[in-house]
Amino acid sequence: MNKFMLNETSYHGKGAIEAIPDEIIQRGFKKAFVCSDPDLIKFEVTKKVTDLLDKNNLAYEVYSDIKANPTIENVQNGVKAFKESGADCIISIGGGSSMDTAKAIGIIITNPEFEDVRSLEGVAPTKKPCVPTIAVPTTSGTAAEVTINYVITDVEKKRKFVCVDPHDIPVVAVVDPDMMASMPKSLKAATGMDALTHAIEGYITAGAWELSDMFHLKAIEIIARSLRDSVAGKDEGVEGMALGQYIAGMGFSNVGLGVDHSMAHTLSAYYDTPHGKACAILLPTVMEFNAEATGEKYREIARVFGVKGVDDMSQEEYRKAAVDAVRKLGEDVGIEMSLKDIVKEEDIPQLAEDAYNDACRPGNPREVTKDDIIALFKSLM
């Protein structure tokens, strides 16, 4: 038996944020707890939403103690602030950092027995849905607005831990490309490659099946044709990425990922490497490693990337064509496919240990050992 979970409601397209006040009013919420990171507040991206709340005389309080890789402390402080605010709903505005923080806060508020944030790691047996949340992404990568996953950094132990909880999914997702348009090129590139990693890992993961394949293959197609234009600042590219990353999230949230994400989590925990950049650097190499366990799926990846003549290629040829197309896209949007300036050689054994123990690793289509992970890290040095 397979289970599939998506948002109760989602809005898409330019101007989608205009629906937020009506959603709040119709659901009878009295006060919103707005989670957004300091940069989005500084550059008045968050203000696009709070202006709508002001216009409709809707009460809210802003919480912005959120780091790029959100920490246990960020969550703990947020829980305290939520309790003091008197809010009855959450609006998360941002990338994965804001939305992941909001998910953890919302879960702990309704399931106080999990106030020790570390107790949420893995599949936590929470009993109640989180505080009703409206999620508004400002990056085209994480798809946290539609997933049942979130990731928190344990600074003390230098590790990230993945939480998987069907109770944390936002009730409403508002995917408005206007909220993403102001991203700098480097962030568009990194988050876009994160979305591609979600789509490809979700497509080949051990838990993949026909319904998830439908979402992932379409997401790969949209991202392949949209990411370069998005990074170049073209509206059609930004709109395409807004949709593509969401569709990828619809799939991988329900079937899992693989060792690329396990390794990327360790890079972020150790070196504060942006998650999307880490995923992007690893993706072609991990694809090569996994090729033998993917059947004919790389042929379809190559096809939606626009590679010609895939039906006349041998298995080895179309697998190489898929990897080459992904690597070329990463290079074209400015990702340097190397870890030599990030990873310290002496850290690799512990990085491999942490990646092997990461919640995403069991979903990898090919069985992977710690020695395999060490070799993958070293191949990119």
> Above 90 in pLDDT, residue 104?
yes
2 found inside a domain: no
Burial classification of residue 293, based on how many CB atoms lie within 10 Å of its CB (0-12 exposed, 13-18 middle, 19 or more buried):
middle
Number of domains in the chain: 2
Claim to verify: residue 21 and residue 167 sit in the same structural domain: yes
Query: What contacts 106, CB < 8 A, 6 or more positions away?
Result: 90, 130, 131, 133, 168
62 found inside a domain: yes
> Above 90 in pLDDT, residue 279?
yes
Of the three residues 159, 179, 199, the one that is the final residue of a domain is 179
Claim to verify: residue 316 and residue 330 sit in the same structural domain: yes
Q: How confident is the model at residue 258 (pLDDT cuts 50, 70, 90)?
A: very high
Claim to verify: residue 247 and residue 151 sit in the same structural domain: no
Q: How far is the CA of 236 from the CAs of 212, 231, 299, in angstroms?
A: 25, 11, 27
> Above 90 in pLDDT, residue 50?
yes
CB 71 within 8 A of CB 152: yes
Share of the chain above pLDDT 70, in %: 100
DSSP string, 277-341: HHHHHHHHHHHHHHGGGSTTHHHHHHHHTT-TTGGGS-HHHHHHHHHHHHHHHHHHTT-----TT
Residue 256's region, left for phi above 0, alpha for psi from -120 to 50, else beta, is: left
What is the DSSP code (8-state) at residue 129? P
**CATH label of the domain that carries residue 189:** 1.20.1090.10
**CATH label of the domain that carries residue 105:** 3.40.50.1970
> Above 90 in pLDDT, residue 283?
yes
Which residue range forms the structural domain that includes residue 192?
185-379
Closest of 205, 239, 244 to residue 221, by C-alpha: 244
353 found inside a domain: yes
79 found inside a domain: yes
Claim to verify: residue 212 and residue 171 sit in the same structural domain: no
> Above 90 in pLDDT, residue 68?
no
Strands, E assignment, 39-197: 59-63, 89-94, 133-137, 149-154, 159-164, 172-175
What is the rounded average pLDDT for all residues in the chain? 96
Q: What is the mean pLDDT of residues 127-142?
A: 96
Q: How confident is the model at residue 226 (pLDDT cuts 50, 70, 90)?
A: very high
What is the DSSP code (8-state) at residue 141? S
What is the DSSP code (8-state) at residue 45? S
Q: What is the mean pLDDT of residues 80-95?
A: 97
- Residue written as token pair 């599939």: 4
| 48: enclosing H helix or E strand | helix 47-55
151, amino acid identity: V
Claim to verify: residue 141 and residue 194 sit in the same structural domain: no
Claim to verify: residue 236 and residue 360 sit in the same structural domain: yes
Claim to verify: residue 212 and residue 85 sit in the same structural domain: no
- Report the distance separating Cα 48 and Cα 45, nearest Å: 6
Of the three residues 149, 179, 209, the one that is the final residue of a domain is 179
For the chain, the first-to-last Cα distance in angstroms comes to: 42
Claim to verify: residue 168 and residue 199 sit in the same structural domain: no
- Report the distance separating Cα 270 and Cα 172, nearest Å: 33
4 found inside a domain: no
- Report the distance separating Cα 330 and Cα 186, nearest Å: 11
64 found inside a domain: yes
Neighbours of 19 (CB within 10 A): 17
Each residue of 186-210: pLDDT tens digit? 999 999 999 999 999 999 999 999 9
Claim to verify: residue 192 and residue 155 sit in the same structural domain: no
Which residues does residue 319 pair with via DSSP β-bridges, in sequence order?
A: none
Pair type for strands 172-175 and 9-12: parallel
Of the three residues 179, 206, 235, the one that is the final residue of a domain is 179
Closest of 134, 173, 70, 159 to residue 352, by C-alpha: 159
Closest of 364, 355, 359, 362 to residue 205, by C-alpha: 364
Claim to verify: residue 157 and residue 23 sit in the same structural domain: yes
Each residue of 324-357: pLDDT tens digit? 999 999 999 999 999 999 999 999 999 999 999 9
Claim to verify: residue 253 and residue 119 sit in the same structural domain: no
> Above 90 in pLDDT, residue 182?
no
